[in-house]
A and B are shown apart, each in its own frame.
Chain A
Amino acid sequence: MSFLDWATGLHGYLFVGTILATLGIIAVVYRRNSIGVLLGIELLLNAASINFISFSKFRTAAIDGQIFALFIIIIAAAEAAVALAIILRLYRLRETIDAGEANLMRN
């Protein structure tokens, strides 16, 4: 099996998903900037979508995996809106968006 067949088949799709998930975890753990943490979460959700889509093609050849990926995209959009509202609120209260400074649940 040549490299092109490997990369465009199920193995290649899952490999890209693995890399995206690992990088997302690293970003969530390492970033001090709250927006950076949010970017890591978006990478994680994209990795999950890639896995759903690839199994939808290579395992079932049916539409169900795509519906789950659609729900993931919708939830990611809602999550991004709420997270950015929280970050703006944190900036207004603390004058910073450092994730280490957000140590109170109330203001």
Chain B
Amino acid sequence: MSETAKIILVLFQLLTIASALLVTFSPNILYASISLLFAFLGVAIMFLYAGADFLAGVQVIVYIGGVTILVLFAIMLTSWMYQVKLRDSRAKLIVPLLLALFGLLPFLYQGAQHLASRVLRTVPPDFEAFAFSPKTNAVGEALLGNYLLPFEGITVLLLGALVGAVWLARPK
């Protein structure tokens, strides 16, 4: 990868982290869901750089085009945008923030970085070529080959979720 490509990837990683911070800490739920859209976009670009071009497209279509719009619809249907009652109070943030910063984040960080260092000792020789080859064909063959049973299972799950969502949202 060239230096310019790396700088672009780092910028999108920073965009992801900044948007995720807004998602968690913004008191206004509308701003939080809009910034979730940018977090999804940054994750899609990270997928693209890691050789998952098909996954990046699916991420944009399903998350940005589907889930975010669904969440925005739910917000518009359930509350007025600037209703004070639904804003989260800063005072209740202290305990979860301390627990996460000093209880969870150090362990996750140490574990992940240690794992990365161990994995990189046996790195496959052709991973740069893997990252820049098209994947749609391979994903399709894997879905209808090795992963046929999970694929069929997930179609049943989607049908169940669809029927369940319609039944839950029925009028009284």
Contacts and interface: CB of A to CB of B under 8 A. Distances in A.
Contact of B23 (A23, A63, A86): A23
Contact of A58 (B9, B58, B127): B127
Interface residues of A, number: 77
A35 B168 contact: no
Given A22-B105, A26-B24, A46-B43, A66 B17 contact: no
A60 B124 contact: yes
Contact of B108 (A21, A53, A67): A21
A89 B167 CA distance: 10
B88 to A, nearest CB: 5
A96 to B, nearest CB: 8
Given A20-B16, A56-B50, A66-B54, A97 B79 contact: yes
Contact of A8 (B49, B51, B126): B49
B23 A38 contact: no
B70 A81 contact: yes
29 contacts: A7-B13, A10-B119, A25-B96, A26-B24, A26-B97, A32-B86, A33-B29, A35-B29, A35-B33, A35-B78, A39-B23, A42-B36, A49-B47, A57-B51, A61-B130, A66-B52, A66-B55, A67-B143, A70-B55, A73-B58, A76-B63, A77-B62, A78-B161, A80-B70, A81-B70, A82-B165, A84-B71, A87-B74, A89-B169
